[in-house]
Structure 1
Amino acid sequence: MNDGWIRYLPGFVRKRLEGRHVLLEAIGNTGWLFADRLLRMGVGLIVGVWIARYLGPSQYGILNYAASFVTLFSAIALLGLEAIIVRDLVRYPEREREILGTTFFLRFVAGIVSYFIAVAAIFVIRPDDRLTHLMVGIIGWVLIFGSFDTIDLWFQSQVRSKYVVYAKNAGFLIAAGLRVAFIVVKAPIIAFAVANAAEIGLGAVGLLMVYRRSGQRISRWKNSFPLARRLFTESWPLLLSGIVFMVYLRIDQVLLGQLANDREVGIYAAAVRVAELWFFIPTAIVSSVFPNIVRTKENDENEFYARLQKLYNLLAFIGYAIAIPGSLLAGLIIKLLFGAPYAAATPMLVLLLWSDIFAILAVARNAYLLAMNWSWVLWLMVLAGAVSNVLLNYMLIPHYGGVGAAVASLVSYWIAAHGACYFYKPLRRTANMLTRALIYPRFW
């Protein structure tokens, strides 16, 4: 591994890092993930705001409704295989081609199935809305293109995220350029649906290119039906968790479109875009440091929980550091970014920023559950959040619109991440640890 970048750090930091290759590898991997998200955050925000201003709340709502609707079916296309495949690639490198080939086959078939389910469902839910039918039909192609993310799993197993960053950001930047061009030529809303699908398709091409440059070939992959059966047997609890998770992550915008109107979806989507800007931070931190935390469990369980508490403390600190100033500046942020037509998004943004604290903590809590092989417990936690989210949305949206949807998100995120842990005895220790983090968050 190339650790040359540490020479640019201050001397006292450099001395503590020199020779600690596992830590340096985690920091380097996290750095690439951060660079990826920072680029997407910056460019995505600028272009996204431009699109929102160009389309206006109603058409922007249609675009986000269609994208959220497709996202509901993405868990079916993914099959819950991510963590399992990365684990198996690390454990059984000699079976790499078989694992990758089987995973791609399963995901490709699942992508096609989920695409047709999504298209059929939108015809049932909105039988007379031809525009939304077309939007879902176009954006839905991301479900099939996503099968090429199998290559991403291989790079994750090698802790070489920078190559995935190269590939996916190339597609992202080209698609961002397309979106800007569509705004300049005053293209119709359908063009932006095409750009959504094109971004994932271009990312797939980029993954194929960097995989080939790494000396690998997908032509060497092979499919194994016995392995497919084993993977599906192991992954079905995670598949169910993924389906439920996507429901409680995106059902708010879908129900807003059904129970309110597309304009309310557009205003709410503006608040969501700002609130989700920072979510890459906990994801990048947990994905890079949690494997090392898990390793300590084999030798010292007390140290394992001590490090886990520090992770919870850090994530809670980050959540508050975003929510408090964000709440104070919410009105100004919405006005500067989206303009007067989106002013009603201000209270929605405040509520969503506070719900982010629980969503951030859930990233680490979920990783802990998977490390303990409690995937079915994770499913129950997410199910509790999803059920409460749907029920609260049905109760609140007809009376309060997008603000009601934001309240539903805040309460359901707390239930899924924290509150539900108290109802399962083995998780009460985790619940208490999360409570300590919320009461006394720390950066160190």
Structure 2
Amino acid sequence: MSRFKLFLENILVYGLGGVISKAVPLLMLPIITRLMPDTFYFGLNDISTTIVSFGSAIAVMGMYDAMFRLFFDSEDEAYRKTICSTTLAFTMGLSILVFCILIIFRETWAQIFFSDRKYTNLLVLSAMSILIGATNSIVSAPTRMRNQRKVFLVTNTLSPIISYAISIPLLVKGMYVIALPLAAVVSALTIEIIFAILNHSWFSIKRVNFSYLRPLLAIAIPLFPNFLVYWVFNSCDRLMISQMLGMDYNGIYAIGGKVGQVSQLIYTAFAGGWQFFAFSTMKDKDQVDMTSHIFEYLAAIAFGAGILMAACSKTIFRILFTGDYVQGYTVAPYLFLAPLMLMLFQVIVNQFIVIKKTWYNLLALVIGALVNVVLNYILIPLIGIEGAAIGTLVGYIVSIVITATILIRMGLLRISYKFYVLSFSLLAYFLLWRFAMRDLLLIPLAIAIFILVEYCFLFRKDIKQLIKNK
């Protein structure tokens, strides 16, 4: 099998399940916004999601990846069951601790996150999602580690279906505050029960052996800061908007982010297959050139998609949404590009993992996150929610620039003139769109198509080679 086919096959197989789980919420978004007419409530739900993502990162603390890694150290089934059982015991204990801290001080946390103590019920639901979600990731792990693809695909499809089957009737009844969070709790619990039944033989109290915690934590703890930094990129802007501008503006921003996250489908598919491909080819003699080419190819796809999103953003929002939700078009292009920038970052940062110098990864991410937060403080008061979106995108770009600069000096990455042409065209287009074409369609769309043709011309030899090999 050629490396190209290996790359595509892994993306299609392992990325499909994640894509399905994200595609359903995107398709349901216009319905949800019509049932929830006030952006204020959508903003509340978005902050709840932010709390869950942060709490889950603390509760899991990188143990999923650590368990995944140690699972394959030995083919002895007893050893593998001990690793799974010990991981679940630790994660469950930490999840309960996080849950209790949120519940005991729920009024204080509600005031901090939602700016009002009356939303303690929403805080409780968020805490329950953390408790269930963190342990769910561990209970479901044996399914992925045993490569049971059909189960993975079915459960990823079933989860959002259950969630919306519960939330839509609640929204119809006007229960705007708790509809989505409550549905998320029930859906997660249902999926966890399914996995608990399927994988019960892999977990047992008798098999818990805390002597294995040391090797597990040795892998998990260094990964933990990365999760926190990613949370800053993905969630900090929501908290800052809600505090600086109000929950209704956060609702508009959240909708822009949801539509912008259509690109998450590309990123999720890529992430599902990239890791295996990257490590299976890391010893190839032309590994540096291969990685550099993939980086440029994906950059062309990402930049081209981002330009098209900017051109069509306002039209898309006018078709899908009504009222204040339409204003989300101002942030969607930036938030569409952000996950794709993360994809590009992960392509090249893998070179640090290959040479076992992963602290460069954290350094680049931390600097990018700091830039993101600083820009948020500066731009949100000046240009509103668009400032937060710009801050997020620029933060990822800074991380990529730092990583690429270090790798080029180390001889682990080569950047050709093509990438500079791609970058310049993206920057020029976004500046033109922002200051002169944001409310238009035909002119920005015509320019976008011209740029895409330019991209095809740049990579004409590669495209011909791809067609020839096919």
TM-score tier after normalising by the smaller chain length: 0.7 to 0.9
Return 251-260 or 105-114, whichever deviates more: 105-114
- What amino acid does structure 2 have at the position aligned with 1:383? V
1:122 and 2:109 correspond: yes
| 150-159 or 191-200: bigger deviation | 150-159
Counterpart amino acid of residue 166 in structure 2: L
Moved more, 86-95 or 123-132: 123-132
Partner of 1:106: 90
Distance in 2 between residues matched to 1:207 and 1:424, nearest whole Å: 43
- Secondary structure (helix, strand or coil) at the match of 2:62 reads coil
2:329 maps to which residue? 346
- 2:357 equivalent in structure 1: 374
Residue of 118, 137, 146 corresponding to 2:124 = 137
1:399 equivalent to 2:386? Answer no
- Per-residue CA deviation, residues 335-372 of structure 1 (Å, 9 max, x unaligned), is 11222322221121122233343122123234443343
Change (3 A) 1:200 1:370: farther
Give the alignment partner of residue 293 of structure 1, picking from 251, 258, 278: 278
| Bigger mean CA offset, 406-415 vs 83-92 | 83-92
| Aligned match of 1:86 | 68
Distance 1:355 1:188, change over 3 A: closer
Quote the residue 1:334 is aligned against: 317
Report deviation, 1:265.
0.3
Relative to structure 1, is the Cα distance of residues 314 and 133 closer, same or farther in structure 2, using a 3 angstrom cutoff?
A: farther
What's the counterpart of residue 244 of structure 1? 229
Task: Output one character per residue of 1:162-207: Cα deviation in whole Å (capped at 9) or x when no partner.
Answer: 3222224323211111122223333342122211222222221222
State the partner residue of 2:193: 205
Higher deviation after alignment, 153-162 or 48-57: 153-162
- List per-residue Cα deviations over 1:299-341 (Å, max 9, x = no partner): x3x3222332233233223312421211111001111122232
1:64 aligns with 2:16: no
2:56 corresponds to: 74
Instruction: Quote the offset at 1:32 in angstroms.
Output: 4.2
Mark the CA change 1:77 to 1:436 in structure 2 (over 3 Å): closer, same or farther.
farther
From 187, 208, 213, the equivalent of 2:175 is: 187
SS in 1 for 2:207: coil
| Identity within the alignment, % | 18
2:15 maps to 1:31: no
**Which amino acid in structure 1 is aligned with residue 253 of structure 2?**
Y
For structure 1, the residue ranges without an aligned partner over 5 or more in a row are 1-16
Q: Which residue of 1 aligns with 2:445?
A: none
Map of 1:260-279 to 2, 5 A cutoff? 260-279=245-264
CA contact (8 A) 1:182 1:191 kept: yes
Helix, strand or coil for the counterpart of 1:189? Answer: coil
SS in 2 for 1:92: coil
Separation in 2, partners of 1:437, 1:168: 36
Aligned match of 1:54: 35
Distance in 1 between the 2:383 and 2:196 partners?
47
Which range is displaced more, 120-129 or 156-165?
Answer: 120-129
Are residue 411 (structure 1) and residue 398 (structure 2) matched? no
Q: Give the direction of change, closer, same or farther, for the CA distance of 1:127–1:342 in structure 2 (3 Å limit).
A: closer
- Taking the aligned partners of 1:368 and 1:161, their CA distance within structure 2 comes to 28
Indicate which of 366, 382, 391 corresponds to 1:383. 366
| Matched residue, 2:220 | 235
Can you give the 5+ residue segments of structure 2 that lack an aligned partner in the other structure? 423-454
Letter in 2 for 1:380: L
Structure 2 counterpart of 1:169 = 157
Residue in structure 1 matching 2:343, options 360, 366, 381? 360
Deviations 1:38-89 (A, max 9, x none): 4334421232332223222111111111211332232112211333322221
Which residue matches 1:218?
Answer: 203
Q: Is the 8 Å Cα contact of residues 29 and 160 (structure 1) preserved in structure 2? A: no
* TM-score, structure 1 as length reference: 0.84
CA contact (8 A) 2:262 2:336 kept: no
Offset, 1:28: 5.7
Match of 1:283 in 2: 268
Change (3 A) 1:157 1:273: same
Mapped contact 1:351–1:407 kept (Cα < 8 A):
yes
Asked whether the equivalents of residues 102 and 223 of structure 1 are also in contact (C-alpha less than 8 Å), the reply is yes
Equivalent residue number for residue 155 of structure 1: 143
Name the structure 1 match of 2:166. Answer: 178
Q: 2 CA distance for matches of 1:234 and 1:397? A: 38
User: Is 2:33 the counterpart of 1:45?
Assistant: no
